[in-house]
Amino acid sequence: MKLEMGYINIHDIQFSNESKVENGVLYVDQDAVKKLVLEDENIKSVTLDIAHPGESVRITPVKDVIEPRVKVEGPGGIFPGVIAKVDTVGSGKTYALKGMAVVTAGKIVGFQEGIIDMSGPGADYTPFSKLHNLVMVCEPVEGLAQHDYERAVRFAGFKVAVYLGELARNLTPDETKVFETYGVKEGIEKFPNLPRVAYVHMLQSQGLLHDTYVYGVDAKRTLTTILNPTEVMDGAIVSGNCVSACDKNTTYHHLNNPVVHDLFEQHGKTLNYVCNIITNENVYLADKQRSSDWSAKLCRLLDLDGVIVSQEGFGNPDTDLIMNTKKIEAVGVKTTIITDEYAGQDGKSQSLADADPAADAVVTGGNANMVIHLPKMDKVIGMLDYVDVIAGGHEGSLKEDGTIEAELQVITGATNEMGFNKLSAR
């Protein structure tokens, strides 16, 4: 499968009476965007704001981050099974607005949303401080259940991202990259001397607002299966979860998965990138056994030499991570896992809830329990109501002077387990 990605660089976002992209500036018609969002009867109101890198701005509580894209050529559309029809995506031509994102925010769960600081020490821990962000703060109608509120905000973010992506359809990209993988037989013939490597991509699916969607299907209802890596670039996997902000895989992470991009960089040079194997992180033991059995089975059927395994979340999913690693190693396939740590504020506690000698190649995204001090910002987009109860916060985290003392958990994307951050350890 072959996909051509065109990147349109965005250097600024401004509100205007017309939505368009011109000379690297994204102009946004507020009325048009609000009208689109308010088509959902579950959303009472939406406030739009813009946050630029380096500004004294704090965005909270953050739900999701989404990069606008548009399908220019080829089957299907962006976010298949969610916004577009359920066609197989990942081939043809897709354009992306780079350097900006749509950020959704609201009082959905409260304790499992996050913070994005656009400047100061907090900005160093999140990749989203480097983007020009169009922020949507959505308020629900009275009495709306949390899961309905989450769904409304999720779809609002996707619809706005598709609306903005459509503005790039007839533009000329600033940069173009081609991504291509091959069938099993063709790949062996083409790269006979290169190790066959795949990516075992664990998807958050613990339920109770801990969900990821694949072609619109809740991942906890799926069996372990195979995806072409380019399918994720067209939005085949999207976030629908409210988990600890530091290691949440937002939709932006899925669209720009660094494991996928790094494997493509080495594809045909040092390795043969065969496919992605997606598997879930359900809570029942039987489901964990089934999913990890299938992960190992597919690795063996594909005659892989090695895999990279990434997880999302911590605690309960640590069991899935180790089950996958043990079983894949047992069928003769080498593994490297990507995780983060909850090692206590002093860094001396057990980092993972499960462990095994087979998991002897580990990349860590850092310790989420590390305490950070965030200065007061001149502007808050959203509300500070939940700072004390966001996972990683505590009673008194928000000080009277507007500063925050909390664990790194509160920062969106800080210890991301795809490696989409700057932290690690030895």
Q: Please, what is the average pLDDT of the chain?
A: 95
The band of 252, judged by pLDDT with boundaries at 50, 70 and 90, is very high
Q: Which of 138, 242, 275, 299 is catalytic?
A: 242
Q: How far is CA 308 from CA 328, 329, 367, in A?
A: 11, 12, 20
The band of 347, judged by pLDDT with boundaries at 50, 70 and 90, is confident
Q: How far is CA 19 from CA 28, 165, 209, 309, 341, in A?
A: 4, 11, 33, 40, 43
CA max distance for the chain? 66
Q: What is the mean pLDDT of residues 88-104?
A: 98
Domain boundary assignment for the chain? 2-410
pLDDT over 90 at 372, yes or no: yes
Q: What percentage of the chain carries pLDDT values higher than 70?
A: 99
The band of 243, judged by pLDDT with boundaries at 50, 70 and 90, is confident
pLDDT over 80 at 109, yes or no: no
Q: What percentage of the chain carries pLDDT values higher than 90?
A: 89
Residue 331 has φ and ψ, to the nearest 5°, of -95, 15
Q: What is the mean pLDDT of residues 408-421?
A: 94
pLDDT over 70 at 400, yes or no: yes
pLDDT digits (tens, 9 = 90+) for 142-187: 999 988 999 999 999 999 999 999 999 999 999 999 999 999 999 9
Is 242 known to be catalytic?
A: yes
pLDDT score, position 289: 97
